[in-house]
Amino acid sequence: LGIELIRAEETLAPATEETAFICSKLKEKHAILTSIDGTYDNVLVIKPPMVFSKGDADDFMDGFETVVLEDLALVDDILSISRTPT
């Protein structure tokens, strides 16, 4: 399962650095493992285990929302952040 991240709907510019940031913060702050894929490294890949409950999905969405709306919002220059190896 993958989520393709873009910077703006008008341009469809890939959100490469943002994807790396989100991947790192999900692991660091929420113990959620994801990886990055896609031609532009802007697809956040979720590989849930076979046993994956609604509660697990809710936990992922809570973590994702927090990272995007709170952590990413505090970053002044996303291009200065190093990329996450996957």
Sequence-ordered alpha helix ranges (H) in 1-86: 16-30, 54-66
pLDDT tens-digit profile of 31-85? Answer: 999 999 999 999 999 988 889 999 999 999 999 999 999 999 888 888 777 665 5
Question: What CA–CA distance (Å, rounded) separates 68 from 73?
Answer: 7
pTM for the full predicted model: 0.87
Three-state DSSP class for residue 45: strand
Sheet holding 2-4, edge to edge: 2-4, 43-46, 34-37
pLDDT score, position 35:
96
49-67: burial string, b at 16+ Cβ within 10 Å, e else: eeeeeeeeeeebeebbeeb
pLDDT score, position 60:
95
pLDDT score, position 84:
59
Retrieve residue 50's tokens: 């076979």
pLDDT score, position 82:
62
13-20 mean pLDDT? 95
Cβ atoms of 43 and 4 closer than 8 Å: yes
